[in-house]
Amino acid sequence: MKTDFRTTFSIPEHQNKLNRDNSFTLIGSCFSENIGKKLSSLKFDSISNPLGISYNPISIHQLLQLETPLSVEHRDDVFFSYQLHSELNQLNEEAFHASVQRQFQLQNQQLAKQGTLIITYGTAWVYELKEGETIVNNCQKTPSNQFNKRMLSVEEIVSSWERAQSFLQREFPELNIVFTLSPVRHLKDGVRENQLSKSVLTIAIEQISAQYENCSYFPSYEIMMDDLRDYRFYEADLIHPNQIAIDYIWKSFELCYFSENTRLINQELSKITASLQHKAFQAQSEKHQHFLKQLLQKTVQFQAQKGIDFQSEIEDLQAQIK
């Protein structure tokens, strides 16, 4: 009788391995936020969704080549754009434009470092304003009767990406692009509808990756659906991956894209970070003070050897030592 209750599969290692010098820009669904937090905690040069979370491919592509000035709406004292997430909304129109421009510049500055762009598609379902047939990024609490809901086709997604690819190739020719499919299921659309959506996105990514040499695919969705096929890897809502799943997928991402030396540095750095987060019941005790002194020495040495900035943490440790 077979006792292995998991379906593991191998992920081909990426040919061009990444290291500590690589920068990252993450755009897309909330799964980009999870991977972004991992990169940030390991002190990689990274930013996540500077223009807000986005779920559908068309809106994600538009954020990469944002055309300004935006079409701005005003309702209930709030200025907003259907192209952007509601977190960028402002009570003042001038402040709205300034905030959007600042975030777009931040995104372009990061992309200009010619590192890695990670794009996470969430759903192929989109909402179109009936007036103008414009696909929106966020419905901005507008009544549903003002929208048509439909599923994007593979052809629409690939065609939209061709325009985005042309822009990125012109502006950031050395950019490495990783596509991934969010393991979060959009069950509000329906179980079958979610699966159809993920299938459309999978085929679109496959065509894009086959067409462009600088594009590759990381199977976060397949890891969650097949390797981690158990509800113990989900949050209480049974939709979002829990921290155990996120950590597991991150480890797979490391093996696929990072060099061995970078993974070893990540391990050391994780241990130091965990120690820095330790909270003592008796901060002034001799035992804890000894722990702080050892940690300070280790952190200073690690910063000097690896060139990773721990200066603020070092100053904080020095302030705690009596």
Q: Is the dihedral of CA 154, 67, 170, 176 positive or negative?
A: negative
- Under a CB-based contact definition with an 8 Å cutoff, are residues 204 and 225 in contact? no
Residue 74: predicted pLDDT: 92
Tokens of 96: 């709205």
Q: Report CA-CA distances (Å) from 265 to 43, 44, 158, 261.
A: 11, 11, 37, 6
Residue 181: predicted pLDDT: 96
- Under a CB-based contact definition with an 8 Å cutoff, are residues 150 and 128 in contact? yes
Residue 10: predicted pLDDT: 79
pTM above 0.85, yes or no: yes
Residue 311: predicted pLDDT: 92
* CATH 3.30.920.30, applies to 23-259: no
Residue 292: predicted pLDDT: 86
CA 67, distance to chain mean position in Å, is 22
Residue 205: predicted pLDDT: 98
Q: What is the mean pLDDT of each run of 10 residues along the chain (322 residues)?
A: 68 86 94 90 95 95 85 91 92 93 95 96 96 90 93 97 96 96 92 96 97 95 92 92 94 94 93 87 84 89 89 89 82
Element (DSSP H or E) covering residue 135: strand 135-136
Across the strands, what pairs with 49?
none
Cα 213 to Cα 210: distance, rounded to the nearest angstrom: 7
Tokens of 148: 């048509």
DSSP alpha helix (H) spans, 42-143 = 57-64, 93-111
Residue 8: predicted pLDDT: 77
Kindly report the length of the chain. Answer: 322
With CA atoms as reference, report the closest residue to 69 among 94, 52, 89, 44.
94
Cα 140 to Cα 46: distance, rounded to the nearest angstrom: 28
